[in-house]
Structures are given as structure tokens and as C-alpha cells.
Chains A and B, each alone.
Chain A
Amino acid sequence: MTRLSLGDLVDLEARLLEEQGESEEIRRSRYRQLGLRLAEKQPLPEDPGALLRGLLRLDPRPTPPGPRFESGLRLLHSAIAILGLLLGGALSLALMHDSGRHPVNVLTVLAALVGTQLLLLLLLIVALIPRRDARASGPVQHLLRSGLTWILTRAGAAERMTAIQDRLDAHRGLLRWTLVRAAQVFGIAFNVAALAGCLYRIAVTDIAFGWSTTLNLDANAVHRLADALSGPWSWLTSHGTPSLDLIRLTQYSHLEGKYIVHVSGDRSADFARLGGWWSFLVFAIAVYGFLPRLIAFAVAGFWVKSILAATPRSNEDYARLCDWMRQPIVTTRLEGPDPERLRPPAAGADPEAPLPPEGTACELLDGGSVEQLLRERYGWTFDPGSTSPLVAVVSAWEEPTKGQLRRFASVRNRDLIVVLHDPSGKDDARRANIRDRWKRDLPKALAGVRVRVETL
């Protein structure tokens, strides 16, 4: 299954937008031609993704918005990565700054670099809950969307891009997930910089950690908290979990300006042990800050890719393009000019022959089988040598063809009675029409002869 790139999808959406309002006939013909051109190079792939990709490569637009969208997105990623690096670095350097007057408060570092991140993680999970409106929502996503729009506007594709961005979200929230992924770039950069900042301070300065709080927390409570937080990495190393001793040792009073366990005024009972918090803090940032962002980035990336792979199959507009490319257009063409519609000929002008009265001797033509019936119905007699009216019997369902009319061409100076006979006795609209045409055509074919049409 071929996966389209985000740029491909943007290009496809741009095509669809451009073609809005065009007649389907024209579009179908265009895509079939493209399909045929593609088929000249290689057999048309069954996979719709591959087919659509082939279409885009074969017939690129002069200024395709796809690459611009992709470069805009890359620019957004770079910008927020830089922002994340700067913020993460600055914050960690600031938080881990040991002026020498007071130790670095572990709880402040935890609250800023771990607590905030845990809160953001929770918000991220909420943001990932599937929702009816797949479009980008929430302040972070709005901010990122605005950023992307701003970048794309600078690239000169403003109007189209706004419409395309709306359409992207119809594909199972593609833009929303793209922005979720972008947000993770910021998170990763922020955490990398935070870790780097911390490690830098740890490596190049002798940081003394302490913890202090107005809340009624004793060392045991802080230990339980630290123990719980260090659960994920406690199996890896024992250095990552602060001991109860260390916690007791590093409880600090700002009022006294000294560690609480030492009332003598010494700044440190065991200077080397005061830095013991660093491994716990580094692990905490890595596990609660960096790792979730990395996982979220991977999940968002996977989701974006799966949407890109599924969209050619699940989107009806794309499926229709594939249909058009594959299916030959069947047409019917009339060779030569469209013939004029014929007008029915006008009725003949000769007066209708009167019905011969009973007892009239008539000549019978082709009616041997119905002679008795005619006698009974009309009371005529039949005399082959007579010059009296000629009675001709024809099938009631046969049209007055030239051949039929030619049979009466020799009739002169006598009345002609054409009897339309149907053994079934049916008389429907069709037969009535045929009767009318006999009435119309006979007088025209036999000028000067009085004719009459009867139904038997």
C-alpha cells in the first residue's frame, strides 16, 4: 500500500479545489487521458495511493502548493524547535543556578520541569481523545495553526492554503495530528535543552540542593513522593532515588538561611552529599518530560502516516479520480449528420369510398380464407369477374408498404375496399394507427381511385 506524502495530499486537495465548478464530463475525460498516459509508461497500479502519486508526478501543477506546505511545516518545526531549545535551556539554567547564598530548591525544579510537564502530558492525552470535530482545537493547536498559516501566507499561498487546511482535517483529523506532532517537536527540544542545561550546571558548578516548603511536609512525606516519582527508573540504578537521609539532610530553612538539621550555623554538614539530588532530577526530566514527548511524537507521526496511507482508499473524491483514470469512457457516436426528423405525410384528398350496400357483388383479392366472414359481416357477394368494388384483405398489423400499395396500382375506375383483418379480433392503439396510415397512404398512392379501409 503506497503512502502519499503530506505534500501529495495538499496537491490533490488543491486540484479538487481548482476543479470545483467544472463539469464532470470534462473532468472525467481529463483524468481518463491522464490514466492512459500513465498506462503508456507502466500498467496502472491497483493501489489507489500509487495511482494518485503517479497522477501527481505525471501532471504536476505549475506552482504546486504541496512542496510549499511541506517546507512551511518544516519551517514551523524548526521555529518551534529553536523556541523549545531556548526556553528549555534558559529555564533549566535559571532553575539550577546556585548563587551560593541559598541552595537550589529541588521542589521548584520538580514543579517547573516535571510537574508542568505532567500537566501538559495530561492535556495532551485529553487532546488526543477522538472527537466529532476533527479540526484543530485548543489554544496550543490554534497557536500552531496560526503559525503555520502565517508562514504559508508569507510564502504567498494564503487563500488556497486556508481552504486546503480545512479539507485536510476531513481526513481523520490529519491537520490536527500534524499539529500534535509539531507540538511534540517543541516538547522534545524543550526537554533536550532542559536536560542539557541541568547537566551543564551539574558538570561545571558544585550545586547544593535543598528543599523547603511552607506546607506541613516532613522528610518522610518528601521521601514517599520522591520514591513514587523514581519508580520508573528505580530498577535501573539505586542512585536515581534520593535516600531518606539525603532528604533529611537537605531540608532547608530560608528564614535561618541554613539546612535545618544543622543548628550550629554550618552551611553544610556533608558538602559532597548535598549534590546527591542531581541524578534524581535528571531522571525525572528524562522520564516525565522527554520520554512522553518522544512517545507522543512517534504516536502522532505514526497516526499521520497511517492517515496518509488510508486516505486514498477511504476518500470518495480520490476513489472517483482513480475510477476515472482506470475506466474507459464508453460513448456512442452517430456517423454522419443527424438526420432530419420526418414529418408524417399529409392525408390524401380524395373522398372516401362509400361502403357498398348489402348484396353488392365485389371482387375479392387475397381474402379467400375470410370470404365467409365478409359475407356475414357486410352481406356482399363475390364475383371474380366483376367490375364492382375491389375488396382486398391484408393483415391488420402490417404497415402500408410500397409493396402492398403496388399491388393496387392497376386499380382503375372502381372503388377499393381494403379490409384489415386480425384473426384475434384485437383492436389496440397500434392497430388503430396502422389503420389510419392505410387511410392516409392509400389515396395518395392511388390517385383518382376512391378507397375505403375497414377492419375485420
Chain B
Amino acid sequence: MTAPHFVVVGRVNKGKSSIVATLAEEESVPISDEPGTTRETRAYTVEAEGRVLFTLIDTPGFQDAPAALEQIRGQRRDASVTDAAVKSFVDTYKNSREFQEETRLLAPILDGGRILYVVDGTVPYSPDYEAEMEILRWTGRPRMALVNRIGPGDHLADWKKALGQYFGIVRDFDANKAGFADRLRLLESFRELDDESRASIDKSIAILKSEQQRRRREASRILSGLLIGALTQRDELKLEKHERAEDRLDEARGRLRKELSELERKAHAQLFALYRFKRLQSSELPSTGLTEDLFAEKTWKVLGLTHGQLLAGGAAVGAGVGLAIDAATVGHTFGLAALIGAAVGFGSALVRSGRTLGSEWRVVKQLIDGERIVRYGPLGKDNLPWILLDRALIYYRAVSTRAHSVQGEIAISEKDAVVRDFPAGERSRGTRLFSQIAQYHRDLPDDLGSELRGWVEDRLAALDR
């Protein structure tokens, strides 16, 4: 089973490199608005454990197809052997400065590559593209046309009509907006190019699908790890005999905040790396309202649950406990326990909402000489995990749907906040889990960690849908 080569060709600056970057999930592919960025052919091999799945070859764009076609026509000896004429053209000009781009882009096609011809569907079709298409037709290799979208405007119908005369398969593919499903659909259409590459493409599709699932699972681990870190975070300080715990509260709170911000930054970086955005990992995050400090007032305003949702969550958790008691008494408490539980849950959520963030502490060890070990934290049980989750989910959605051809910052806004739109049942479940986890300082039981991860994965799946 030989891995297929796809040679991405087209006129200059029509998004060939973008298509390569998106399909290969490779952000290092040089993409520039400047035409002619790709002077040499570059092969990007997509591999699984050293076994090549497929290769994408980025090529320089056609610079003078009409003249090249004229030359090819001139070299044609036999009316039926068009590919020989193309080969002869490449051989003639391969060491010449003339038709440099054309010979470079045709060489890998003649070496057995399949053709992916890229045009920009946002500009009108014009007949001067026919020379390029004719040359490609003459190579006799399996070929497909991709209508890319570089800007506004829509001339897809005209392009499809024209391309249909030269290409058996024409696909609409916006390299900068293509999500995983679009990429997969395109790969599936590669199967139709020829029988030879079908098995290899099928294998690639299966591997990429399972990789996508693994990424979601791994993302859920990263996010649940962040939440557990935030909820179980504590800071222990040794207090002198004369010191009060309150005296060191600011110091402890400052340390906890710093630690948590670092934890969040790491989690985001892991998320970016998981989706193969290493440059985003090391570069500055986009400067939007969502990148404010975790503890900034604005962050708490636009992210997380609303005050009402937090109170409702508290009431639901309390009611759940009460219901369990009602069930245990086989209904002899007439639902009173659930009612009381809801009231207590609501009340305690109300009390907590009035507290300053990170004001909890307790003495964990009384030393003989009057000194004490005081444990501060966690910073907050109620909205803090929701805010962390909200922000992480926004980044998750941004990177999991971002094409690798897109340059620059992540485009996110406050409108992307998601947790407020969770179904009420999911908010209650989240509140219950956060509340249970917050009771632990370390050694969180496997079951609880696993339940949280499963819940986060469900939320990610819902986002993906």
C-alpha cells in the first residue's frame, strides 16, 4: 500500500499553502498574502508512527500558463500522448529560469502525484484559467478541483461549471474555516480520485477520526485537571504565636491567585499544543476582554454563571441531598427533607456569594510552642470553577475548530461564553461535583475525578455538536 501524494497547484496567491496547512494540520507552512511565497515545492508528509498516510506537496503558482501550454503543444509528437509532451516540457525547462514555476509544479505530478487544483471562488471565473487546467489535463493524472474562499464574494456556480469541464471532482473547501468534519469530508472525496489510493486514504480517515476522539478525551482531562487544581488548591502557612490567621490572609490569597493563574495558563497552553498550535502556545494570547486577569472584575462579570444560576444550583444540590433522605425514609418524610435541603442549599449559596474570594482558612496543626499551621483556601467554590471552565471551553472551541492556515490571534469574544447556556440539569451536576471536589485537599478519589472528566467530556461533545 503506497501512500498517495497530492500535489496542490493553482495560480499564485489562491490559497494553495493554506489548503496544505489545513489538511496537514501544520501551522509552520509559510502562508503569506505576498504572492510567490512558495518558490520551491515542499512536501508535507502526514505520518502515523513513521508510516506515511499521505503527502501534500505545496507548489509555486502558475506564472505564465498560456505560454507554457503553447510550449507543451509545440512538443507534442503524437496526438494521443499528452503526458509525454508535458514531460518533455519539464525536461526542457527544468534548469532554465524560464517557466521555472511551471516545471517545478509539474515535476511531482509527473512523478505520480494526484492533482489538487486550487482556485479562489470569491473572484469571478475568467477563461484565462483554461491554460492551467488544460496543462493539468494533459498530465493524465487523477485530479480534483478545490474552490477555496479567500475573501467576500461568491462565484462558486461559475467556477463549478468551468471546472467541471476539466475535473471529474470539484469540491468547495474554505481552507481558513474548515473544521475537522470538513477536512474529513475532503479526505473522503480523495478516495474517489483513483482506486490505488483508496485503502491508504481509508486508513488515514480511521486514524484521524480516532485521533480526534483522543484529543477530545485529552482536552477533557486538561480541563478537569484545571478544575480539580482550582478546587483543591490550598496554601499552608506557619503562624507565629502572636499572629492571627487573618493577618496572613492577603499573603496567602495572593499566592493562591498567582498559582491558579499559572495553572490556568498551563492548561490553555496544553490545549493549544493538543490541537497542534505550538505557536499560539508560546506567543501572546489574543488581547480581548476574555484574556483579562482571572480575578479581574470584568472576567467575573462576563464569564461563569449568573448570580441566580448559582443560587439555583445550590438549591438543586441541597434538594438532591434531601431527596436521598426522603427516599431512605420511603416517603415517610413527605418530601420535607428535599424542601429543607433546597432551602439550606439556597441559603448557603447566598451566604457564600457574599464572601470575599479566598477568605477561608482553618488551623490544621497546633504546635507545642504556640505556633500554628494554618491552611488557607480554596479561593472560591461557587463561581470560580465555572469561570475557569467557561474560559477554557471558549479556548477549546476556538482551537478545536481553528484551521492551521489561519494566522494571528484567536478570534474570541464575550459572546462565546457557554456555561450560562448549559441545561439546568448540567449546571446542577457541575455544582454538585465542584462542591464535592472542593472538600478535598489532595488525593481526590479516582471515582470523583473520573466523574468530573466524563462530565467535562460530555460538555465538550455538546460544544462540538
Contacts and interface: CB of A to CB of B under 8 A. Distances in A.
A24 B272 CA distance: 13
25 contacts: A167-B443, A170-B444, A311-B446, A316-B221, A327-B210, A327-B214, A330-B53, A331-B46, A332-B25, A332-B46, A332-B47, A334-B44, A335-B43, A335-B45, A336-B43, A341-B37, A397-B123, A398-B11, A399-B11, A401-B61, A401-B63, A402-B64, A428-B151, A430-B33, A433-B33
Contacts of B40: 339
Contacts of A447: none
A103 B170 CA distance: 106
Nearest to B210: A327
A262 interface: no
B84 interface: no
Nearest to A28: B218
Contacts of A329: 48-49
A317 to B, nearest CB: 9
A170 to B, nearest CB: 4
The 5 closest A-B pairs by CB, nearest first: A403-B64, A402-B63, A328-B48, A397-B123, A335-B43
Contact of A333 (B30, B45, B152, B453): B45
Interface in B51-73: 53, 55, 61-67
A135 B126 CA distance: 75
Given A133-B440, A334-B42, A403-B64, 14 more contacts: A24-B270, A166-B442, A167-B443, A170-B444, A314-B450, A315-B450, A332-B25, A336-B43, A339-B30, A400-B35, A401-B61, A401-B62, A428-B152, A430-B33
Interface string A152-182: 0000000000000011011111000000000
A135 B443 contact: yes
Interface string B411-450: 0000000000000000000000000000110111111011
Interface residues of B, number: 63
Contacts of B123: 395, 397
Interface string A385-415: 0000000000101111111001000000000
Nearest to B450: A314
Interface string B383-421: 000000000000000000000000000000000000000
Interface string A417-447: 0000001101010100100010000000000
Interface string A305-339: 00000110111100110010001111111111011
Nearest to B35: A399
Most chain B CB inside 10 Å of its own CB: which residue of A171, A399, A403: A403
A330 B51 CA distance: 9
Interface in A20-44: 24, 32, 36
A316 B450 contact: yes
A406 B64 contact: yes
A224 to B, nearest CB: 33
Nearest to A333: B45
A132 interface: yes
B13 interface: yes
A225 interface: no
Contacts of A430: 33, 150-151
Interface size class of A (residues with CB under 8 A): 35 or more
Given A401-B62, A403-B67, A330 B208 contact: yes
B153 A401 contact: no
B446 A315 contact: yes
A349 to B, nearest CB: 20
Interface in A366-392: none
B237 to A, nearest CB: 21
A134 interface: yes
A449 to B, nearest CB: 20
B34 interface: yes
A424 B439 CA distance: 64
A150 B7 CA distance: 67
B347 interface: no
A344 interface: yes
Contacts of B439: 132
B124 interface: yes
B217 to A, nearest CB: 7
A233 B150 CA distance: 89
B178 to A, nearest CB: 16
A236 interface: no
Nearest to B37: A342
Interface string B205-222: 001101100100110010
B440 A132 contact: yes
Q: Give the interface centre of A170, A173, A330, A344 by most chain B CB atoms within 10 Å.
A: A330
Interface in A115-156: 132-135
A330 B47 contact: yes
A132 B26 CA distance: 46
Interface string B1-32: 00000000001110000000000111010101
B120 interface: yes
Interface string B84-123: 0000000000000000010000000000000000001001
A314 B11 CA distance: 54
Nearest to A315: B446
Interface centre among A32, A328, A433 (most CB of B within 10 A): A328
Contacts of A344: 34
Given A172-B445, A314-B447, A430-B150, A323 B11 contact: no
A342 B447 contact: no
B443 A170 contact: yes
Nearest to B52: A333
A26 to B, nearest CB: 13
Which of A135, A332, A335, A339 is packed against the most chain B CB atoms within 10 Å? Answer: A332
Contact of A170 (B47, B151, B445): B445
A424 B66 contact: no
A336 B42 contact: yes
A313 B152 CA distance: 50
The residue in A173, A311, A333, A395 that gathers the most chain B C-beta atoms within 10 A of its C-beta is A333
B179 interface: no
A320 B218 contact: yes
Contact of B63 (A334, A395, A403): A403
Nearest to A400: B35
B36 interface: yes
Contacts of A406: 64, 67
Nearest to B38: A339
A345 to B, nearest CB: 9
A314 B446 contact: yes
Contact of A332 (B30, B44, B66, B453): B44
B39 interface: yes
A326 to B, nearest CB: 9
B444 to A, nearest CB: 6
A172 B46 contact: no
B228 to A, nearest CB: 10
Most buried by A among B36, B446, B447: B446
B446 A170 contact: yes
A171 to B, nearest CB: 5
A250 B34 CA distance: 111
Contact of B445 (A32, A134, A395, A398): A134
A306 to B, nearest CB: 12
A329 to B, nearest CB: 6
A315 to B, nearest CB: 5
A402 B36 CA distance: 10
Contacts of B61: 401
Contacts of A171: 445-446
Nearest to B33: A433
Given A134-B445, A399-B12, A403-B66, A342 B43 contact: no
B203 to A, nearest CB: 10
Nearest to A174: B446
Contacts of B55: 335
Given A397-B120, A428-B152, A437-B35, A323 B214 contact: yes
Nearest to B444: A170
Contacts of A169: 443
Contacts of A335: 42-45, 55
Nearest to B56: A332
